[in-house]
Amino acid sequence: MNFELKTFDLADAAREKCDALIVLVNDVFKPGKDVLSTLLTQALKAGDLEIKVGKSLVLYHTSGVAGVRVVLAGIAAGSAKDVHKAVVSAVTAVKAPKVKKLVICFASLPEAAAVCAAVIAAAEAGYVYTTTKSKPDGQLIQQVLVGLPNASKFKTAFDRTLAAVLGIEYAKEWANRPANHATPSLLAGAARALAKLPSIKCEVLGPKEVAKLAMGAFIAVAQGSEEPLRFIVLHYNGASKAQAPTVLIGKGLTFDSGGISIKPAAEMDEMKFDMSGAASVLGVFRALAELHPAINVVGLIPSCENLPGGRSIKPGDVVTSMSGQTIEILNTDAEGRLVLSDALTYAERFKPRVVIDIATLTGACMIALGGVRSGLFSSDETLAASLMAAGESSSDLCWRMPLDDEYAEGLKTNFADVANVAGRAGGAITAAKFLQGFAGKFPWAHLDVAGTAWKSGLAKGATGRPVALLLQYLLATQK
């Protein structure tokens, strides 16, 4: 899908030839003398259109309008959230095989955040996964033209959003692939492909290199599968070597059966999404290559499968992590924190300014926050505030959760330095407390995206979150 930003008003929009025209009208709309203004005024007066979000009017072959289909859509006060919802609904309403060119215009001058939301929403509504289909339909909408008065004012925000869309769709692509089409080795191939882009380098460590690093926790999770593990290291170098990097760590479990502590069969197929944290890191690097910001970023992806087998770890086993800490594995389905613990220790070598790990870590976080906000845990007030702000401005929301020391009491064990699970209560928090024990040498944050990284049901598929949040945060760190 190609996006273009163009300067025009409602009169210009009426003259633009396209397969579908979406007109977004807010509560401060003042009509002009053009045909679309007249149409909006009449529809509002008749009660056929309301400015409330979710209210729209679909027209076909309207006199005086070059677009074949017209959607008049209310966006209330015109917030980014309202625009996103309205555009997704409008695009869905007109999406058909003959709709190749789409025009989106605002009846009143919007805020930059609303323009960005419109672009992301159009990309989201038009996205189609095709990789493993024998006769894919492909993406129906090929071109999206966004029309605004004084479009040059929005160019920077527009360009950033296009880069975010590329990153989000790269993350979706890899998270949506079935596990046999997204093995650790194939995930490493996706990272190597990114290294062909400007300013990005990639290194992939295999079982021998990981064994030399003494990543005992990571190795333990991987040993039940015949697929060899991969530890992926990405570098984006946009600033001087003297500038400390931000390190992003993405959980890369390309399939998680739970291991010996096997999951229920129902919906286990969705455990292909357990590498969504890794996919988001890949997506961020795809966007960075497009924008070339003056920052340094390191991406770490510990990738493997968690399967039951003769060599699988067992409940009660004790393993030694790269940090030297011993871990009693009480539940083999709490494997994400094991692979992340070694990645957190590996991150120390980069002397990072901050470290952020992203993981579909706990069902408990999904219960706590649902699919609206990702869980945010952090040992650093400034970092937590910056991530919260990035989430709000990008509409990729998170919510800060506690890290009181009392939550770590359940991780105590008689047989190792720490257990990998506590009780059921506060499960997302105790998982974060486990990770915090390996993140004491740098400012650290953990994003639990178990509820936000994918959708189930009829809309099943990856969301690409939290690429937008992370990109917004990274761009805000430029000096």
- Predicted confidence at residue 263, as pLDDT, reads 97
Q: Based on the domain organization, do 78 and 195 belong to the same domain?
A: no
Residue 137 — pLDDT band, cuts 50, 70, 90? confident
- Predicted confidence at residue 1, as pLDDT, reads 86
Q: Based on the domain organization, do 423 and 280 belong to the same domain?
A: yes
Q: State the average pLDDT over residues 160-169.
A: 97
As given in the structure block, the two tokens for residue 204 are: 């992939």
Domain assignment present for 469 = yes
- Predicted confidence at residue 279, as pLDDT, reads 98
For residue 378, pLDDT over 80 is answered with yes
Residue 265 — pLDDT band, cuts 50, 70, 90? very high
Number of domains composing the chain: 2
Catalytically annotated residue among 101, 337, 373, 433: 337
Residue 277 — pLDDT band, cuts 50, 70, 90? very high
Domain assignment present for 39 = yes
For residue 293, pLDDT over 80 is answered with yes
349 is catalytic: no
User: How far, in Å, CA of 135 to CA of 11, rounded?
Assistant: 41
**Cβ atoms within 10 Å of 100's Cβ, excluding its own:** 14
Amino acid at 267: E
Helices (H), 401-479: 427-436, 467-476
What separation in angstroms does the CA of 358 have from each of 285, 436, 469?
14, 13, 11
- Predicted confidence at residue 96, as pLDDT, reads 86
The boundaries of the domain holding residue 31 are 2-149
List, for residues 222-238, the tens digit of each pLDDT value.
Answer: 999 999 999 999 999 99
Q: Based on the domain organization, do 270 and 297 belong to the same domain?
A: yes
Residue 182 — pLDDT band, cuts 50, 70, 90? very high
Q: Based on the domain organization, do 246 and 135 belong to the same domain?
A: no
Q: Based on the domain organization, do 107 and 174 belong to the same domain?
A: no
Domain end: 149, 174, 190, which one? Answer: 149
- Beta carbons of 326 and 273 less than 8 angstroms apart: no
Q: Based on the domain organization, do 303 and 175 belong to the same domain?
A: yes
- Predicted confidence at residue 135, as pLDDT, reads 85
- Predicted confidence at residue 352, as pLDDT, reads 98
For residue 479, pLDDT over 90 is answered with no
Residue 206 — pLDDT band, cuts 50, 70, 90? very high
- Predicted confidence at residue 113, as pLDDT, reads 94
Q: Based on the domain organization, do 140 and 197 belong to the same domain?
A: no
Domain assignment present for 118 = yes
272 is catalytic: no
- Predicted confidence at residue 136, as pLDDT, reads 80
Residue 454 — pLDDT band, cuts 50, 70, 90? very high
Q: State the average pLDDT over residues 129-153.
A: 89
Q: Based on the domain organization, do 243 and 142 belong to the same domain?
A: no
Helix or strand (DSSP H, E) at 327: strand 326-329
**Cβ atoms within 10 Å of 175's Cβ, excluding its own:** 28
Q: Based on the domain organization, do 113 and 174 belong to the same domain?
A: no
User: How far, in Å, CA of 238 to CA of 177, rounded?
Assistant: 30
CATH of the domain at 76: 3.40.220.10
Q: Based on the domain organization, do 219 and 345 belong to the same domain?
A: yes
Residue 382 — pLDDT band, cuts 50, 70, 90? very high
Domain assignment present for 159 = no
Q: Is 227 helix (H, G, I), strand (E, B) or coil?
A: coil
- Model pTM score: 0.96
- Predicted confidence at residue 56, as pLDDT, reads 95
Closest alpha carbon to 414 in 332, 473, 328: 328
Domain end: 116, 149, 182, which one? Answer: 149
- Predicted confidence at residue 326, as pLDDT, reads 98
Q: Based on the domain organization, do 71 and 219 belong to the same domain?
A: no
Domain end: 95, 118, 149, which one? Answer: 149
CATH of the domain at 461: 3.40.630.10
Higher pLDDT, 140 or 405: 405
As given in the structure block, the two tokens for residue 321 are: 């992590």
Q: Based on the domain organization, do 185 and 116 belong to the same domain?
A: no
Residue 209 — pLDDT band, cuts 50, 70, 90? very high
Contacts of 404 (CB under 8 A, 6+ apart): none
Domain assignment present for 155 = no
Domain assignment present for 428 = yes
Catalytically annotated residue among 81, 95, 192, 263: 263
Domain assignment present for 225 = yes
User: Average pLDDT of the chain?
Assistant: 96
Domain assignment present for 190 = yes
- Beta carbons of 16 and 145 less than 8 angstroms apart: yes
